[in-house]
Amino acid sequence: MSDPDLFFLTLSQQIYSYQNQGLLCICGDFNSRIGNNSDFIEGVDDVPSRSCVDSTVNHYGDLLLDFLIDNNMCMLNGRVGAENDFTCISIKGKSVVDYVFVPHEQLSVYTDFKVKTVTDIIKEHNLAVPITTPDHSVLQWSMKTPELLLPNINKNEPKRLAKVNSYNVKNFPLNFLQNESTQQMIHETIVRIEDEIFGNQSVNSAYETLVNFLKVEMDNCGLKRTIPSGDANKSKSVFKPYWDETLQAMRDDMCMKEKA
């Protein structure tokens, strides 16, 4: 079995494994050129026709078409949206080798498929022109997702604000980490960190050891402070003295209506 045959066989196995898990979408560079050939069985599959900008066909394209037909999948290129274009532009020429594939029954979920060349993106976002640009274009599309159901919120119920610990790192005392016992603890901590890194390769454990040590020292220096946490605290600003609970409630209500 050749490498391309093995590739499409493996991809088919992945489809069978995940096809019942939700929406399925496959995209990438397949080095396949299919020309005007159909990616579905005409007269059998209920799939709209597509427009074509690349009329060239190669062997990889034949394998790709067999794969799509066998798995009841079709491409978005030239079928969804009106901005179809070549996906690879180089000194060798132009071609369509990058695709997006979806199952027939999920085709209606996808809209507004576009092919954006790198040159178009540079112009659109006013980017600096690089010395070299990629040959392949960017594929962009939209998809519909199930509506998210927001939980019912009782606006009359008082908000319960959690409290989190923070440290005032702007007011370290001059003698921070300077006494003899602390210096000894620092040395012992460094030794433990080195042992864990070089012995167990446990960087996370070494980092946690250092953080815990620093927290203890900052607690001893009185740098610890407890502040409320929550939406109400985040939305208020010291630069808005006029902001109060009534305005906050009105803003929350507006945000909820926008999401509805």
HSE (CB half, 13 Å, CA atoms) of 63? Answer: 17
Domain co-membership, 136 together with 166: no
Judge whether 33 lies within some domain: yes
In the predicted model, what is the mean pLDDT of residues 236-243? Answer: 52
Residue 232 pLDDT: 46
Domain co-membership, 105 together with 214: no
Which of 39, 37, 33, 4 lies closest to 92 in space, CA to CA?
33
In the sheet with 73-75, reading across from the earlier edge strand, the strands are 26-29, 98-103, 73-75
Instruction: List the CATH number of the domain containing 135.
Output: 3.60.10.10
pLDDT confidence tier of residue 29, bands split at 50, 70 and 90: very high
Domain co-membership, 167 together with 105: no
**Domains: count for the chain:** 2
Domain co-membership, 29 together with 139: yes
Domain co-membership, 133 together with 166: no
Domain co-membership, 174 together with 230: yes
d(CA 96, CA 85) in angstroms, rounded, equals 8
Of 113, 143, 173, the residue that ends a domain is 143
pLDDT confidence tier of residue 236, bands split at 50, 70 and 90: very low
pLDDT confidence tier of residue 157, bands split at 50, 70 and 90: low
Domain co-membership, 112 together with 197: no
Residue 249 pLDDT: 79
d(CA 14, CA 17) in angstroms, rounded, equals 5
Give yes or no for residue 235 having a pLDDT over 50.
Answer: no
Judge whether 172 lies within some domain: yes
Domain co-membership, 120 together with 173: no
Judge whether 153 lies within some domain: no
Judge whether 148 lies within some domain: no
pLDDT confidence tier of residue 39, bands split at 50, 70 and 90: very high
Domain co-membership, 106 together with 31: yes
Domain co-membership, 110 together with 71: yes
Rounded to the nearest 5 degrees, what angle is found at the Cα of 76, between the Cα atoms of 72 and 77?
A: 125
Q: Domain of 204? A: 162-259
d(CA 34, CA 28) in angstroms, rounded, equals 15
Which of 222, 218, 210 lies closest to 185 in space, CA to CA?
210
In this prediction the pTM is 0.56
Domain co-membership, 135 together with 195: no
Domain co-membership, 57 together with 88: yes
pLDDT tens, position by position, 47-86: 999 999 999 999 999 999 999 999 999 999 999 988 899 9
pLDDT confidence tier of residue 188, bands split at 50, 70 and 90: confident
